Amino acid sequence: MPSLGAEMEKGTLVEWRVKPGDAVTRGQIVAVVETDKGTIEVEIFEDGVVDSLLVEPGTKVPVGTPLAIVRGKGEPAAAPTPAPTVAPEAGRTRASPLARKRAEALGLDLGRVKGTGTGGTITVADVEAAAGGASGAAGAGTGAEKGAEADRQAAMRRAIGAAMSRSKREIPHYYLASDIELSRMLAWLATHNAGVPVARRMLPAAPLLKAVALALMEVPELNGFFTDGAFRPSEVVHLGVAISLRQGGLVAPAIHDAGRRTVAELMDALRDLIARVRAGTIRSSELADPTVTVSSLGDQGVREVLGVIFPPQVALVGLGRIGERPWVVEGAVQARPVITATLSADHRVSDGHRGGRFLAALDRLLQEPEKL
């Protein structure tokens, strides 16, 4: 079970897309798992042949649990190891994972539930009995689907809350903001868009993301992971893009190696990602490995975004609304399109001086859009 974000502890295997004996290649989607962030397509990281599947669909297992055995080409069949079920957490109330989830959904304190399972383990039935049967009513009849959706939203809200609490607890944030004049960039974009079919038009987000990725390559202290007490910079920029879900909540999947893609490729990648996020088909690698995140709230009219960093990342870039503002040009005030770009960064890794270099680089890059 792959880790699809810092706060993920478990996932439910929903579906296998392969069977024993199938040949698989690196990057192929082999399974679908359900997490607090929604349904994720799991990719495989090596070539080989599926020897055996270790986890049945519908089973919830902890992160790190082997899901299947894959043989390299020419390797003999291995003896399968049984999949561990979720172990009881030491020093905590013993409860089955399902019971724990049900209790969370019901807002019930597990300490008050009497366990009737093996060794006093609390089962789902115990939780529902303790909740006075209210849950049975909620899950019954026509309300069942709505109840499941509400559960999913509540789970996602908790996952976001846990990640953001950890961020605010552990990361000493500092915040910087710069106003960037965009008339050159927008003129370049308008010219491009006037000359292509409507389906090939680009939005300002595409050149903005490209410039962010290039600026990050100039200031590597903002791109990577802080884990085990040390910063590990990333060679490439996997740009996490915060995308809101129609039904509430958000995910921030990655556009891989954004700095080396053309602006048009970034537009395609962004369009594809948004469509898949909304359809619920994100891939495991996209959720697991953004090295930095961009949050753009300009469509909501927000002027500046003072964001919370997603651990273990060390920076978040905020983009506000592009709007006409008074701008002084050679001593005279003119109306010019301006965006406020912000940086939230981790003081354990960088200082305001380096953060300022990033915003200055972003400004410089956006003044020469044809070079992006």
Partner 1 sequence: MSPEAIREQVFQALADVAPETDPASLDPDRPLRDQVDIDSFDYLNFIIGLSERLGVTVPETDYASIGTLTRLVEYLAQRTPR
Structure tokens at 193: 């868009």
Q: Mask of contacts with partner 1, 297-336, x by CB under 8 A? A: -xx-------------------------------------
Stretch that binds partner 1, among 95-103, 154-162, 203-211, 220-228 (CB under 8 A): 203-211
Q: Are 257 and 281 in contact (CB under 8 A)?
A: no
* 3 state DSSP class of 104: helix
Stretch that binds partner 1, among 34-42, 101-109, 200-208, 330-338 (CB under 8 A): 200-208
Strands of the sheet with 23-24, listed across from one edge: 23-24, 48-53, 68-71
Looking at this protein, which amino acid is placed at residue 270? L
* Binds partner 1 (CB under 8 A): choice among 79, 87, 199, 332: 199
Is residue 190 part of the contact set for partner 1 (CB under 8 A)?
yes
Burial status of residue 230 (CB atoms within 10 A of its CB: 0-12, 13-18, 19 or more) = exposed
90/199 with CB nearer partner 1: 199
Of how many residues is the chain composed? Answer: 372
| Min CB(100)–partner 1 separation in Å | 33
| Min CB(203)–partner 1 separation in Å | 5
- 209-224 b/e (C-beta count within 10 Å ≥ 16 → b): bbbbbbbbbbbbbbbb
| Min CB(267)–partner 1 separation in Å | 10
18/277 with CB nearer partner 1: 277
| Min CB(242)–partner 1 separation in Å | 12
Is residue 272 part of the contact set for partner 1 (CB under 8 A)?
no
Stretch that binds partner 1, among 98-106, 110-118, 156-164, 191-199 (CB under 8 A): 191-199
| Min CB(276)–partner 1 separation in Å | 13
| Min CB(202)–partner 1 separation in Å | 9
Is residue 279 part of the contact set for partner 1 (CB under 8 A)?
no
Kindly list the distances between the CA atom of residue 131 and the CA atoms of 98, 103, 150, in Å, as whole numbers in the listed order.
Answer: 15, 8, 18
Is residue 270 part of the contact set for partner 1 (CB under 8 A)?
yes
d(CA 181, CA 366): 8
Number of residues that bind partner 1 (CB under 8 A): 16
Stretch that binds partner 1, among 23-31, 231-239, 270-278, 356-364 (CB under 8 A): 270-278
Is residue 274 part of the contact set for partner 1 (CB under 8 A)?
yes
- What lies within 8 Å, CB to CB, of 9 at 6+ separation is 62, 63
d(CA 94, CA 99): 10
* Binds partner 1 (CB under 8 A): choice among 194, 230, 328, 332: 194
| Min CB(153)–partner 1 separation in Å | 15
Is residue 242 part of the contact set for partner 1 (CB under 8 A)?
no
Is residue 196 part of the contact set for partner 1 (CB under 8 A)?
no
d(CA 217, CA 357): 11
Q: What sign has the CA pseudo-torsion 39, 18, 257, 205?
A: negative
Looking at this protein, which amino acid is placed at residue 162? A
75/299 with CB nearer partner 1: 299
| Min CB(198)–partner 1 separation in Å | 5
Structure tokens at 316: 């978040």
Is residue 203 part of the contact set for partner 1 (CB under 8 A)?
yes
Stretch that binds partner 1, among 129-137, 198-206, 211-219, 329-337 (CB under 8 A): 198-206
Instruction: Kindly report the three-state secondary structure assignment for every residue of 175-234.
Output: EEEEEEECHHHHHHHHHHHHCCCHHHCCCCHHHHHHHHHHHHHHCHHHCEEEECCEEEEC
Paired with 328 in beta bridges are 333
Is residue 205 part of the contact set for partner 1 (CB under 8 A)?
yes
Q: Are 359 and 178 in contact (CB under 8 A)?
A: yes
Is residue 198 part of the contact set for partner 1 (CB under 8 A)?
yes
Site of interaction with partner 1 (CB under 8 A)? 190, 193-194, 197-199, 201, 203-205, 246, 270-271, 274, 298-299
